[in-house]
Structure 1
Amino acid sequence: MSTPLILISLGVILALSFVVAPRRASVQGFFAGTTPDGGAPGLWTLVLSQVTTWIFARSLMNAAILGYYYGIAGTLAYAAYYGSFLTGGFIVMRLRETRAASVQDWLGARFGGAGRAAYNLVIALRLLSEVFANLIVIGLIFAALLPGSETVAVLAIAALALAYSAWGGLSAALRTDVLQMALFLVVFIAALIALLLSPGVSLGAMLTAPGTAGAWNGWVLLAVAALQVFSYPAHDPVMMDRGFLADPATTRASFFHAFWISTLCIIGFGLFGIQAGITGAAVENQLIGTWAAMFPSWVFAALMLSLLVSALSTLDSALSSAARLCVEELRLAPRSLMGGRLSMAVFAVAGTLLTLFGSQSLFDAVAVSGTASMFLTPVLVVGLVMGRRIALWAYLIAWAAAMLGAAAYFARAVPWVAAFLPQGHKYEQLFVICVVVLIAGFAAVWLGSRGRVETAQEG
């Protein structure tokens, strides 16, 4: 009963996404997200776009899975990453005070081409992981709904998302984000109310649940999030791109509202995973199958539709940021509609191919990406906040330390890598890696810093 409803609803949402996408695209709208009359996007367009591109399918599944295993501690740990809206808003406003138009602008002015290249490598990998991870969730959903159809579903949805994204670029992403977020909120709130009103469900029990694996590693992961939350938004091009579209007051307000809305959504979705753990669900590593058995068909359909909508909204935003990266930052294609569309196609194809070979562990992508971003913490604290000059060698040492830390976590099962890591759970290892990366980065950057840089205030 629920499968036809989900498929029909998904078809309607895809059709509506094509309807609300701009009829005619301009180069400025494609790359800068301007309205048809050349204006900046409004406050709630920015807010809903920020929220829907950050509470994407991978995040919703992560929150639920971490809640299942580690209870409220796991869900809070993942929700802590959404403090990135506060730290990201702070970074954006400081960057704008220097009259930088992007993170790359600021890094390029201080570290030249090497500074830009090191950063662009990290965000290119981030964008690929966004496409890959959201397509993985789509595959997981269709594996549960229609076993054997997952590859076809991934290819079809990737192609359709690319089609309407390539139609209007960032302006299309902003407009479809508003539609998709509104639909997401309707179905998600309905499902959450049904969960909280279900017989035998206690909010108090969910908020104190230790999870099926105990709460300890959830609290460890919360500490990891606290270490990564300053740098994490700065390596996310989707968030950073939206920090330079509107005036300062609108931008500042959009980050604040996106913070509280997205945090509540993530915690709310985590409750579904926590409740699955409380009921003693026996479907190990098959949370979607667990939900199908736990809830009425319409609640299950609402959950799946929430995941599918969030996957779509992230795909189009990731592709629009990929176009900006390739065209405006890397200059690999001309600043034209065709150049942007070709860039989108490359990332869409590469991300889709990764689903055939990549890991199914959704949080690993967050952990590796977040660790790689940590070179930005000492650079931004010392260079942007304290206003000190930093030598290029110090920047590159901080970058290398973060890359080695990310690689060590990714390859932690390799015997010679494991020999350098402490014994313990992978999140305990991740915490130690993050501490070492920060110590090495701050030591290098502080030793390589001198004097203050005069900055012009944004007018």
Structure 2
Amino acid sequence: MHPILLMAGFGLVVLASVLVAPRRASVEGFFGGMQETGRAPGLWVLVLSQVTTWIFARSLMNVAILGYFYGIWGVLAYAAYYGSFLTGGLIVDRLREGGAGSVQDWLQARFGAVGVTAYNVVIALRLLSEVFANLLVVGLIFGAVLPDTGLAHPAAIVTVAVLGLAYSAWGGLSASLRTDVVQMVIFLVVFLAALLALVTAPGFEIGAVLTAEGTSGAWNGQVLLLVAFLQVFSYPVHDPVMMDRGFIADRATTRAAFLHAFWISTLCIIGFGFFGIQAGLAGAEYEGQLLGTWAAMFPAWVFAALMLSLLVSALSTLDSALASAARLVVEELRLAPRSLGAGRVAMLAFMGLGAALTLWGNQSLFDAVAVSGTASMFLAPVLVVGLIMGREVALWAYLVAFGVAMLGAVAYFARDGLFAAILPEAHKYEQLLLICIAVLVTGFAAVLTGARQRA
């Protein structure tokens, strides 16, 4: 019965999203998020939008899988990335204090076109990975609930891609902000119902969950926690969805929004991780992305609620990623005039590429986080020295930090191929930790060498 309920519930979410999207689209609303009255979004619109775009389907699946294998340490490792709201809020406030209207503005003033281009390459890859990963989860969900229907996986991906593109392309960022609020409220209701069912179930013990070491032991979860701490300063800056929302309201509202988004999203991600931990404690066998495991563990309505919460988060992140993609192509890269048509074409291109990558067959989820997080680490020394310390950083030093970070990302991605002979024989997360340390040490060495006091 739950496949029908799931599809009906998701259909209602899509319908609600279409109904709350703005009826009239304007260029300022499409790219800048302005309401029809010309006002910036309020505090809780911004908070709920930030939270729902960061509690995306890939993250929910990742934290549950890490909780299954590495227990509470795996969950804490992934939750540590949500400290990005604190570091990202600090960086946005410092940028705005200096008069910058975006990360690109700040980079342009210090490193010119070369510096901005390097940054835009990273965030374009990030946006593409967001579309790909969330569509991938959609395909996995429908493949799990309709296992006997061979076309369920590709049909679901194409359907959600088309529906998400339809209302996103109508209103851009203003549509994304408004639908985020509705989608976040629905997500919280559905998710909290499932969480309540979990914690009140006879076999659930909070003490066991909080001390669980997972089916594979706690060590790799602890390693990932260290990786998260190394990446958490730079990680938010390469996420244009978060950064775009940092420049559309006044500074006081923005600071409060980042703070509230931090504690709400962190609690939600830890709560969702409990489902993975409990699956490990119950001795359930791991079946493809944990979905098959949950289907066997929980009552049909709980499983359907979990799947619906994943679908809602996927839809929310897709529309936000598309809005940021349009802004990147039109306002930052200036590849097309600032018009509704140009923004919609950019959205279509990113959705098409992301769907193609998903249908191609790649199934990796956490690797996308690890690769993009490593690539973003060139920003850490540049922002610490250039923004926080207020020193001038030479262009060559910026490019060295960028080159090393990209090399590190490629090394992790090709750890079983081209870089297998260079990396030590160890678990992939231990290899990732060593790569991150090498990237940061080299990047800071270059930036500090090429830094001088601002005249």
- Any gaps of 5 or more consecutive residues in structure 1? 454-459
Tell me how far apart the structure 1 counterparts of residues 313 and 78 of structure 2 sit (CA, whole Å).
17
Tell me how far apart the structure 2 counterparts of residues 360 and 185 of structure 1 sit (CA, whole Å).
27
- Report SS of the residue matched to 2:214: coil
Correspondence list, 1:175-194, <5 A: 175-194=178-197
1:365 paired residue number: 368
Tell me how far apart the structure 2 counterparts of residues 29 and 251 of structure 1 sit (CA, whole Å).
18
Give the counterpart letter for 1:252 in structure 2: R
2:449 aligned to which of 430, 442, 447:
447
Correspondence list, 1:366-445, <5 A: 366-414=369-417, 416-445=418-447
2:255 paired residue number: 252
- Report SS of the residue matched to 2:359: coil
Superposed displacement of residue 290, structure 1: 0.8
Give the counterpart letter for 1:85 in structure 2: F
Tell me how far apart the structure 2 counterparts of residues 359 and 207 of structure 1 sit (CA, whole Å).
33
1:224 aligned to which of 224, 227, 233:
227
Superposed displacement of residue 358, structure 1: 5.0
Tell me how far apart the structure 2 counterparts of residues 81 and 412 of structure 1 sit (CA, whole Å).
23
Tell me how far apart the structure 1 counterparts of residues 289 and 403 of structure 2 sit (CA, whole Å).
37
Correspondence list, 1:350-361, <5 A: 350-361=353-364
- Report SS of the residue matched to 1:244: coil
Tell me how far apart the structure 1 counterparts of residues 9 and 183 of structure 2 sit (CA, whole Å).
12
Correspondence list, 1:119-134, <5 A: 119-134=119-134
Tell me how far apart the structure 2 counterparts of residues 33 and 346 of structure 1 sit (CA, whole Å).
21
Tell me how far apart the structure 2 counterparts of residues 358 and 140 of structure 1 sit (CA, whole Å).
11
Tell me how far apart the structure 2 counterparts of residues 351 and 244 of structure 1 sit (CA, whole Å).
26
> Is 1:293 the equivalent of 2:319?
no
Give the counterpart letter for 1:441 in structure 2: G
Tell me how far apart the structure 1 counterparts of residues 72 and 325 of structure 2 sit (CA, whole Å).
35
> Is 1:348 the equivalent of 2:351?
yes
C-alpha distance after superposition, 1:330-369 (max 9, x if no partner): 0111100001000000000000000022531200000000
C-alpha distance after superposition, 1:359-416 (max 9, x if no partner): 31200000000000000000000000001011110000000000000000000001x4
Runs of 4+ in 1 over 3 A off after TM superposition: 283-286
Tell me how far apart the structure 1 counterparts of residues 174 and 142 of structure 2 sit (CA, whole Å).
30
User: What TM-score, normalized by structure 2, do the two folds share?
Assistant: 0.99
Number of aligned residue pairs: give it: 452
1:87 paired residue number: 87
CA contact (8 A) 2:65 2:289 kept: no
Tell me how far apart the structure 1 counterparts of residues 92 and 291 of structure 2 sit (CA, whole Å).
37
C-alpha distance after superposition, 1:202-244 (max 9, x if no partner): 1111111110110000000000000000000000000000000
> Is 1:211 the equivalent of 2:214?
yes
User: What TM-score, normalized by structure 1, do the two folds share?
Assistant: 0.98
Tell me how far apart the structure 2 counterparts of residues 194 and 282 of structure 1 sit (CA, whole Å).
21
Correspondence list, 1:82-161, <5 A: 82-147=82-147, 148=150, 149-161=152-164
1:265 paired residue number: 268
- Report SS of the residue matched to 2:61: helix
Tell me how far apart the structure 2 counterparts of residues 57 and 96 of structure 1 sit (CA, whole Å).
31
C-alpha distance after superposition, 1:129-161 (max 9, x if no partner): 000000000000011011321101100100000
Report sequence identity in percent.
Answer: 72
- Report SS of the residue matched to 2:422: coil
Tell me how far apart the structure 1 counterparts of residues 327 and 156 of structure 2 sit (CA, whole Å).
27
Superposed displacement of residue 286, structure 1: 4.2
Tell me how far apart the structure 1 counterparts of residues 244 and 411 of structure 2 sit (CA, whole Å).
30
> Is 1:66 the equivalent of 2:42?
no
- Report SS of the residue matched to 1:418: coil
2:278 paired residue number: 275
Coordinate RMSD, CA, aligned: 0.7
Tell me how far apart the structure 2 counterparts of residues 358 and 250 of structure 1 sit (CA, whole Å).
42
- Report SS of the residue matched to 2:249: coil
Tell me how far apart the structure 2 counterparts of residues 358 and 118 of structure 1 sit (CA, whole Å).
28
Tell me how far apart the structure 2 counterparts of residues 380 and 358 of structure 1 sit (CA, whole Å).
37
2:23 paired residue number: 23
- Report SS of the residue matched to 1:243: coil
Tell me how far apart the structure 2 counterparts of residues 146 and 60 of structure 1 sit (CA, whole Å).
21
Tell me how far apart the structure 2 counterparts of residues 100 and 263 of structure 1 sit (CA, whole Å).
29
Tell me how far apart the structure 2 counterparts of residues 284 and 169 of structure 1 sit (CA, whole Å).
38
Tell me how far apart the structure 1 counterparts of residues 204 and 272 of structure 2 sit (CA, whole Å).
15
C-alpha distance after superposition, 1:157-197 (max 9, x if no partner): 00000000001000000000000000000000000000000
- Any gaps of 5 or more consecutive residues in structure 2? none
2:176 aligned to which of 160, 173, 177:
173
Give the counterpart letter for 1:419 in structure 2: A
> Is 1:325 the equivalent of 2:334?
no
Tell me how far apart the structure 2 counterparts of residues 190 and 163 of structure 1 sit (CA, whole Å).
30
Mean Cα displacement is larger for which, 357-366 or 302-311? 357-366
Tell me how far apart the structure 2 counterparts of residues 162 and 247 of structure 1 sit (CA, whole Å).
29
